[in-house]
């Protein structure tokens, strides 16, 4: 169970969630403690630059889609780190709003 497990469960039930992520890996897009709103992706077509709540290996991230190859998505943060490649079934929600 990771920090985002309760939010992922709600997203799987088609609920929109709000929370305040901590850390500096998304600095410039999401600063530590800002309120984010994340909604289920549904049938939405994801694109490079989208901020998504996802799981790469066993780690949960609210990070960027850095690249897309077919049905694979490369996930990374906003300060240069790449987390890895995942399929759409490992993406649970998309960030639609960031506020203080």
Candidates 41, 43, 38; CA nearest to 90 is 41
State residue 81's pLDDT score: 97
State residue 51's pLDDT score: 98
The overall pTM is greater than 0.85 = yes
The span from the first CA to the last CA of the chain, in angstroms, equals: 27
Domains parsed from the chain with CATH numbers? 5-99 (2.10.109.10)
In the chain, % of residues over pLDDT 70: 100
Candidates 45, 42, 82; CA nearest to 61 is 82
State the average pLDDT over residues 50-54: 98
Contact 75, 90 (CB under 8 A): no
Q: How many residues does this entry show for the chain?
A: 100
Distance set, CA 20 to CA 32, 36, 99 (Å): 7, 6, 10
* Rounded Cα distance, 80 and 6, in Å: 28
Q: Is the pLDDT of residue 59 over 90?
A: yes
**CB neighbours (10 Å) of residue 16?**
14
* Residue range 26-51, pLDDT digits in tens: 999 999 999 999 999 988 899 999 99
State the average pLDDT over residues 76-95: 97
């Amino acid at each position: 169970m990771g920090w985002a497990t309760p939010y992922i469960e709600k997203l799987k039930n088609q609920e929109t969630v709000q929370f305040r992520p901590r850390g500096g890996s998304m600095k410039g897009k999401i600063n530590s403690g800002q309120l984010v709103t994340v909604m289920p992706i549904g049938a939405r077509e994801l694109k490079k630059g989208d901020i998504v709540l996802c799981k790469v290996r066993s780690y949960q991230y609210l990070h960027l889609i850095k690249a897309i190859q077919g049905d694979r998505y490369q996930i990374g943060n906003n300060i240069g780190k790449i987390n890895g490649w995942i399929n759409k079934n490992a993406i649970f929600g998309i960030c639609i709003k960031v506020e203080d």
